[in-house]
Amino acid sequence: MQWVKGLGLGLGAAALLALGIILGHFAIPKKGDSPAPSISAPQDLDLELLESVMGQLDASRIREDLRELSREPHLASSPRDEALVQLLLQRWRDPASGLDSAKAFEYKVLLSFPSQEQPNSVDVVGSAGDILYSCHRSEENLTGEQGRPDVVPPYAAYAPSGTPQGLLVYANQGTEEDFKELQAQGIKLEGTIALTRYGGAGRGAKAVNAAKHGVAGVLVYTDPADINDGRSLPSETFPNSWHLPPSGVERGSYYQYFGDPLTPYLPANPSSFRLDLANVSGFPPIPAQPIGFQDAKVLLCNLNGSLAPTAWQGALGCDYRLGPGFWPNGDFPADSQVKVSVHNRLQLRNSSNVLGIIRGAVEPDRYVLYGNHRDSWVHGAVDPSSGTAVLLELSRVLGTLLKKGTWRPRRSIVFASWGAEEFGLIGSTEFTEEFFSKLQERMVAYLNVDISVFANATLRVQGTPPVQSVVFSAAKEIRSPGPGDLSIYDNWIRYFNRSSPVYGLVPSLGSLGAGSDYAPFIHFLGISSMDIAYTYDRSKTSARIYPTYHTAFDTFDYVDKFVDPGFSSHQAVARTAGSVLLRLSDSFFLPLNVSDYSDTLRSFLQAAQQDLGALLEQHSISLGPLVTAVEKFEAAATALGQYISTLQKDSADSLQVRMLNDQLMLLERTFLNPRAFPEERYYSHVLWAPRTGSTATFPGLANACSRARDTSPGSEAWAEVQRQLSIVVVALEGAAATLRPVADL
């Protein structure tokens, strides 16, 4: 009480009262305030923590995880695939570095495998039925890993069984145009076997196009010109370089859609309704089989007929001819045929997704999903284990912070390891079907890292416009691997860039197709999604994809020696994805810049005006309403941006920010219309559904125009053009309405 004495009484009383008031006001938290960090000073992204996470992401641990993940082949539903389910559960349940909880979700799905009793085969047979040449049934055992019994022989998943035999023709990439060209050249395709090369058309599409012209069977190979920059000698290929060996064969799914083929729109639970096989669509109509270029060379270089167009020529060291059949002076009698024997079996198999969650501290009902598939074709070191190794390292670092009690995200983080992706994004699709409403209401974004490193040159991101800004923010703060002291962003912009009317020169994001598990999230649920990887210097290689893709040569040593020695690119991807993940889960204001959609809409609109405007005018269809809708969106997005900056200035309470964040999170949903393209299974996003044409514009409008182009005015097809135009206009106006002040009429 010493200090009190010095005060005069009256003054003292007043002062004491005042002091007390001050103490009472500032020193004691209001009851109403607790427990909520969301209420008092709202937690925002902690940059120091972000820095330390970046520092803890360890290249050598990624390397060790990759070694373990790719030690054995882990084809979907195989024993090793199941073992990896357990590995993931054990990691995510680890007391020192695990998540809050982890769980496996099993589905019963229809997969396709080659018969073990009756191996698929491709033979050249003489007129007497005698076998003159047999293609290799497996890849050459170059490293000891290709000889394992659990290496699935090359095959075309979901291709029907059958043993077609006929004269061989060469059909380039098996596109509709390619077969039209053969027809134009007067080549009779009925009953032939078409040899095609990977690229151009999807796997299944080659068989579909071929069947339309009466082709009886399809062979698919990888031309050294498309994958090896022309190299084809053993001395030039793996294990002597990263190039594809002559015996390498790309496996893959030939199913046209995605998701479990028997349960469209329904989760493949044991009790779920399953289509009768007779009613399943999307399987190849005729037998198909992939072969290596060593065998393709024997077939192709013996072909008869006229010379193939220059664009069809490849790097097998001979002139490619069209056939049909072999030339008299070659290795086979002219009347020799090719026999394709396919004995694939459809099987109902159990396949699991593994999910792990870190519960959000403030908004546990907001989910940031980070996923990759687990299943591979063979060892799958690059595809998908390079991504899974990054996933495990990221979950380890975050799990460790969590278990130490030093950190918990504002929003929930969900890690996912999908099953059976290689057969058609099956695990992720069944997941979205089972939890449709929950995910559509609560998912902030989906982050996919499948193949994390194709090559070491640069970052490559595919995504919808709202994720551009957060990826940029992350990439600017991380040092790029390799020489120089560039940020990942500054390195990236050197390889992929575009000039934005708003920002000037920026790295360009690719758009999302259906190449990996992001497809059901963006197309079916309307969740802002992205796919992140490190990739090639396109000036140094024209390879379609990394050379050993889907072969038995995609092994740990391949990655360790040729793809990313030192794993610095893996680390770069882990840091970029990790930074994006933390920014999405911890930022007070969601870092989704919806106004970046304006760029896209503007460019879609201009493309429509340039490429379709004249045609539409001829049919007196005006793009005016579309122009107005785009302008309304731009205006609403701009105004919302200004509102955000004012909110950021004068400390908004967490409920105000929640309302704003809901607008940002849900914008992508407003572009979804399940009635827009009912025939396009799962595709409901009116901006990103598949486009048939080359014009980068609104897909529904573009596709309807190309269907209507050759029909008479007033046809149903032209009515559909107008319907599609209205669908886009309504979607854009609806989107703008959700961006405007919430109490506006």
Catalytic residue numbers? 421
The secondary structure of 477-545, three-state, reads CCECCCCCCCEHHHHHHHHCEEEECCCEEEECCECCCCCCCHHHHHHHHCCCEEEEEEECCCCCCCCCC
Q: Is 309 in the site for its own copies (CB under 8 A)?
A: no
Of 119-127, 159-167, 246-254, 668-676, the window that binds its own copies (rule: CB under 8 A) is 668-676
CB of 465 to its own copies, least distance (A): 17
CB of 251 to its own copies, least distance (A): 32
Which two tokens mark 399? 């799990």
CB of 738 to its own copies, least distance (A): 5
Which two tokens mark 341? 């024997």
Number of residues that bind its own copies (CB under 8 A): 96
- In the region spanning residues 506 to 525, those forming contacts with its own copies, defined by CB under 8 A, are none
Q: Is 624 in the site for its own copies (CB under 8 A)?
A: yes
CB of 28 to its own copies, least distance (A): 5
What CA–CA distance (Å, rounded) separates 269 from 251? 27
How many C-alpha atoms does 245 have within 13 Å on its Cβ side? 19
Residues 254 and 207: beta-carbon distance below 8 Å = yes
Q: Is 430 in the site for its own copies (CB under 8 A)?
A: no
Site string for its own copies, 256-295 (x = CB under 8 A): ---------xxx-x-xxx-xx--x----------------
Nearer to its own copies, 357 or 687 (CB): 357
Q: Is 528 in the site for its own copies (CB under 8 A)?
A: no
Q: Is 674 in the site for its own copies (CB under 8 A)?
A: yes
What CA–CA distance (Å, rounded) separates 604 from 688? 11
- In the region spanning residues 432 to 491, those forming contacts with its own copies, defined by CB under 8 A, are 433-438, 441-442
Of 153-161, 182-190, 585-593, 653-661, the window that binds its own copies (rule: CB under 8 A) is 653-661
Give strand pairing partners of 497: 507
Which two tokens mark 39? 């209420």
What CA–CA distance (Å, rounded) separates 464 from 451? 19
Alpha-carbon distance values, 538 to 545, 546, 564, 567 (Å)? 11, 12, 17, 21
CB of 292 to its own copies, least distance (A): 42
Kindly report the backbone phi and psi dihedral angles of residue 190, in degrees, each rounded to the nearest multiple of 5, phi listed first.
-50, 125
What CA–CA distance (Å, rounded) separates 610 from 368? 39
Strands of 160-202, DSSP E: 165-166, 168-170, 193-197
Nearer to its own copies, 85 or 488 (CB): 85
Of 187-195, 356-364, 422-430, 512-520, the window that binds its own copies (rule: CB under 8 A) is 356-364
Residues 694 and 595: beta-carbon distance below 8 Å = no
Q: Is 632 in the site for its own copies (CB under 8 A)?
A: no
Q: Which of 4, 128, 311, 614 binds its own copies (CB under 8 A)?
A: 4
Q: Which of 19, 83, 233, 277 binds its own copies (CB under 8 A)?
A: 19
Nearer to its own copies, 5 or 539 (CB): 5
Of how many residues is the chain composed? 745
Nearer to its own copies, 184 or 743 (CB): 743
Q: Which of 655, 690, 692, 709 binds its own copies (CB under 8 A)?
A: 655
Residues 358 and 407: beta-carbon distance below 8 Å = no
Q: Is 1 in the site for its own copies (CB under 8 A)?
A: yes
- In the region spanning residues 101 to 120, those forming contacts with its own copies, defined by CB under 8 A, are 101-103
Q: Is 711 in the site for its own copies (CB under 8 A)?
A: no
CB of 647 to its own copies, least distance (A): 12
Q: Which of 231, 359, 691, 707 binds its own copies (CB under 8 A)?
A: 359
CA-based nearest residue to 422, from 570, 585, 644, 203: 203
What CA–CA distance (Å, rounded) separates 737 from 744? 9
CB of 278 to its own copies, least distance (A): 11
CB of 7 to its own copies, least distance (A): 9
What CA–CA distance (Å, rounded) separates 633 from 742? 15
Nearer to its own copies, 81 or 668 (CB): 668
Nearer to its own copies, 125 or 639 (CB): 639
Nearer to its own copies, 420 or 672 (CB): 672
- In the region spanning residues 131 to 190, those forming contacts with its own copies, defined by CB under 8 A, are none
Residues 562 and 228: beta-carbon distance below 8 Å = no
What CA–CA distance (Å, rounded) separates 185 from 124? 25
Q: Is 622 in the site for its own copies (CB under 8 A)?
A: yes
- How many Cβ atoms are within 10 Å of 179's Cβ, its own excluded? 25
Q: Which of 44, 183, 653, 711 binds its own copies (CB under 8 A)?
A: 653
- In the region spanning residues 21 to 60, those forming contacts with its own copies, defined by CB under 8 A, are 21-26, 28, 30-33, 35-36, 38-42
What CA–CA distance (Å, rounded) separates 745 from 730? 17
Nearer to its own copies, 39 or 315 (CB): 39
The amino acid that residue 1 corresponds to is M
- Strand 217-221, strand 193-197: pairing: parallel
Nearer to its own copies, 171 or 616 (CB): 616
Residues 6+ apart with CB under 8 A from 455: 534, 535, 536, 537, 541, 546, 563, 569
